[in-house]
Each structure stands twice: as C-alpha cells, then as structure tokens.
Amino acid sequence: MTSRTLTILNESGLHQRPAGMFAERASKFRSRVTVSNGKQAVDGKSVLSLMLLGAAPGAQITITADGEDEAEALDALAPLLT
C-alpha cells in the first residue's frame, strides 16, 4: 500500500470535471484507489464519491493505492489534483 498527501490547487476544488478525470484515470489501474480528506475515505474510481468529499481549494487529501501497480497509479493520479 502506497499513499501520498496532496494539497488541492485547482481553483474550483474537486468538483465534477476534475473528479471525473481522476476517476477515469484511476479506473485504468488494477490497484484499489481511495481518496481521504481526513474525515472520510472514498473510492477513487467513483466520480460521485469523490465529489461527496467536498474537497475545496487548499484542502489536503490523501490518495492511497493498494495493488500490483500502486506506484504507477499514484504517479499518474497526483498531477490531476495539484
């Protein structure tokens, strides 16, 4: 299991479009991907779940990947949020 904590820099936060892009890219990996805001963790492959985090600009989130391609998943997903 590999994790990375990031600060959301997107001016709109994790709204529909960035959440959709994140979920779409996350779905390409075999690893389980979760995103946490410190209070709750959600499935990183679900647009709706990501939007329910309510991650605003400046929020810190943690992306966790667990599986055979976890390092590659984090490398591909982190730039979408920063």
Catalytic residue among 15, 41, 43, 72: 15
Active site residue 15: yes
Q: Within 9-68, where are the H helices?
A: 16-26, 47-52
**Both tokens assigned to 48:** 């709706």
CA–CA separation, 75 and 57 (whole Å): 21
Length of the chain: 82
Catalytic residues: 15
